[in-house]
Amino acid sequence: MSSACKRILLKVSGEALAGDNSFGIEPPFLQGVAAQIADVARGGTQVAIVVGGGNIFRGMAGAADGTDRVTADLMGMLGTMINALALSNAISRQGIKSKPFSAATMPSVADTFTARDAKLALEEGFVVVLGGGTGNPFFTTDTAATLRAIELECDVVLKGTKVDGVYSADPMKDPSATRYSQISYDEVIGQNLKVMDTAAFALARDNSMPIIVYALDDAAGLAGVLEGRGRSTRVGKPVDDK
C-alpha cells in the first residue's frame, strides 16, 4: 500500500506517548513512536501527524470536576501542544526534518496552522506535527485528524490503538468478538463501534477519507501496516460502492 500512499495523516494519541503510565510523556515511548514515523518518512511518504492530549488533560474530566467545558477544552488543547512540541523534537532527533504547527495562535511557540503552510512544509520534506486539535472546544483530536487529512489532501488516516483493528465488540471484554478486515463508515457508526468518535467517522464518510485502524505495538510497525503487512481494519466506502 505504501507506494499508493504519497501523503498520510497519522493520529498519535496521548496514551501512545505515556506508555505504561497514564500521565505525562515517557521518553522511550516517545522515541519509539518517533522512530516508526521517521522510518515511514525515510521511505518517501509525506507524513502529517495530529497529536492527542489524553496523557495530560481531557476536557471532559475537567468539566466533570466543575471547570466550565470551554475552559477545560482549552486546557486540553494546550496539552496537545506540549505533546506536539515533544514529538516534533523527537522526530528531528531521528534525523528527519519536522515542524510543529498550532491550531491556536501562539507565535513564540509554533507557526499557526494553515493548510497552505502545512502543505508547503510537507512538500519540502518536513514531517508536520499538528497540535491544538481543531482549535475548537467540544471536538476531539480524532475529528481533528480527519479534518486535517481532508484539508491536506492525504490519502488515508492511520489511527493506532491498543487493539489491531475494529472488532464486532470490545475484544478486551468479549472473547467472542471478531475483527473486521474492512468495514463501511455507516456500519461503524450504526453499530456504535467506538474506535473514533462519530463526528470523525461522519466527516470521513462525507469526504470519502479512508481510515486504517491498527495496533500501536504491531510487530510490523507503522511502515509494515502501510505496506499491508500487519493486522488492521480499513474503514471506508462499501467495497461494491465504486
Which residues carry a binding-site annotation? Answer: 11-14, 53-54, 58, 73, 134-141, 161, 167, 170
The answer to whether 144 contacts ligand UDP (rule: CB under 6 A) is: yes
Joined grid coordinates for residue 24: 505525562
Q: With CB under 6 A, what is the number of residues at the site for ligand UDP?
A: 23
Query: Would you count residue 137 as binding ligand UDP (CB under 6 A)?
Result: yes
**Separate counts of helices (H) and strands (E) for the chain:** 9, 9
Cβ distance to ligand UDP smaller for residue 112 or 136? 136
Q: Between 15 and 123, whose beta carbon lies closer to ligand UDP? A: 15
Q: Which stretch binds ligand UDP (CB under 6 A): 12-20, 33-41, 217-225, 232-240?
A: 12-20
76 binds ligand UDP (CB under 6 A): yes
Cell 475484544 found at: 171
The minimum distance between CB 60 and ligand UDP, in angstroms, equals 6
C-alpha distances out from residue 181 to 141, 161, 213, 236, Å:
24, 15, 10, 11
Binding ligand UDP by CB under 6 A: which of 5, 34, 58, 212? 58
Residue 101: φ, ψ to 5°: -125, 150
Stretch that binds ligand UDP, among 19-27, 34-42, 92-100, 133-141 (CB under 6 A): 133-141
Residue 46 is a binding residue for ligand UDP (CB under 6 A): no
Sheet containing strand 232-236, strands side by side: 111-112, 98-102, 127-131, 46-51, 7-12, 156-161, 211-215, 232-236, 182-184
Q: Are 213 and 195 in contact (CB under 8 A)?
A: yes
102 near ligand UDP, rule: CB under 6 A: no
Q: How does 145-168 read in b/e, with b if 16+ C-beta sit within 10 Å?
A: bbbbbbbbebbbbbbbbebbbbbe
Residues forming the site for ligand UDP (CB under 6 A)? 13-15, 52-54, 58-60, 73, 76-77, 79-80, 133-134, 136-137, 139-142, 144
